[in-house]
Amino acid sequence: MRTIDWVDGHVLILDQTLLPHQVKMVSIATPAELADAIIRLAVRGAMALGVAGAFGIALAAFRAHEQGRSVDRAVDEAAALIKRSRPTAVNLPWGVDRALEVRAGGPLAILAAALAVRDQDITANRAIGQAGARMLQGVRRVLTHCNAGALAAVETGTALAIVERLHQAADLEVVYVCETRPLLQGSRLTAWELGRAGIPHRIIVDGAAAGLILSGAVDAVVVGADRIAANGDVVNKVGTVGHALAARRAGIPFVVGAPEATIDPTRASGRATPIEERDQAEVLDVAGHRAAAPGSTAFNPAFDITPADLVTAIVTERRVLTPASSASSDGAHVAL
Ligand code: MRU
């Protein structure tokens, strides 16, 4: 089962808002439907967003062609709509641009480019899994945050690809899964994936992570990324930087698995990256019911920035980067 694919002229996605209780594939026919699915997090995670972006341009091209409208105009409109649906993961505009590059070739050329983005994601993440597990050989207790598994990609994740490889090598004792407030990508999605793969895991509340790491119960923190700046700063799900700080204090590795497409050389540092701020209701409500005190408001950034000097390694499909060992004290001068 793939998280996202192209089937019969449509984009098929696994609706992640329904997991873990319902496994439902949804067929998407237009760029507007796709943008809505991205905003609702029905499809989410940096790599899946990259593939969605490319498929969205293919949808625009095919629908316009079928209806006798201008393909050029349709793909421009779709690109703008999809790119502004979520601002942080650089993979989304990257995927859109990969498809746009071949627009002159028409719908079939655009689809071929989008399918190549899909296939590249699969091979890149397999390589990340292998390289990351090689680096972390012997690690038995891993902590992860959010979901950087197959659900955040096409059929193989990044951080969870590393975890799966460690499990196959019989090294793994337990994966601590941070629940990942407010939308619970850890307890809903990562735990679901690990359960299906038979990988031993325990869900913890995000606030338990630092204490657990400092107690000596964790050998490595492994996460994904939504954007990696030119200086090696890592932008990932809110809460990630706290794990990096705790890992540094405990003297354990903080490892990021991400494809090369997640590196954004145009952003000098993480501070130059747009951080998505989502609806306050995601924080104030629990399971659709108001939990916070009446009248209180919330601040809901979806991502945070881990400075390069806290990152032990970034494992891509081509190389292992070591920002922490080459960073200056302010982490500002690592050229990736
Ligand atoms: O808001 P989400 O669920 O899209 O956030 C996803 C993450 O933060 C992942 O850790 C990140 O995309 C890396 S995994 C591809």
DSSP-derived secondary structure for 257-301: E--GGGEETT-SSGGGSPPPB--THHHHEETTEE-SPTT-----B
- Cα-to-centroid distance, 48 and ligand 1 (Å): 9
55: CB partners within 8 A, 6+ apart: 4, 6, 11, 34, 95, 99, 114, 118
Helices 46-66 & 91-100, crossing angle to 10 degrees?
30
CB half-sphere exposure, 199, CA atoms < 13 A: 30
64 has a pLDDT exceeding 80: yes
Q: Is 227 in the pocket of ligand 1 (CB under 6 A)?
A: no
CB 264 within 8 A of CB 228: yes
Question: Residue 209: which H helix or E strand, with range?
Answer: helix 209-214
Token readout for 268 is 């000098």
Q: CA-to-CA distance for 13 and 23, rounded, in angstroms?
A: 11
331 has a pLDDT exceeding 50: no
Q: What is the mean pLDDT of residues 194-217?
A: 98
Residue 332 is predicted with a pLDDT of 46
Q: Is 221 in the pocket of ligand 1 (CB under 6 A)?
A: no
Catalytically active residues are 226
- Cα-to-centroid distance, 66 and ligand 1 (Å): 34
Q: Is 44 in the pocket of ligand 1 (CB under 6 A)?
A: yes
Token readout for 86 is 């979520």
Q: What is the pLDDT of residues 128-171, one digit of tens each?
A: 999 999 999 999 999 999 999 999 999 999 999 999 999 999 88
- Which residues on neighbouring strands pair with residue 174, listed in sequence order? 141
Residue nearest to atom 8 of ligand 1 (CA): 237
Residue 335 is predicted with a pLDDT of 58
pTM for the structure as a whole: 0.96
Q: What is the pLDDT of residues 106-140, one digit of tens each?
A: 999 999 999 999 999 999 999 999 999 999 999 99
Average pLDDT, the chain: 96
Q: Is 42 in the pocket of ligand 1 (CB under 6 A)?
A: no
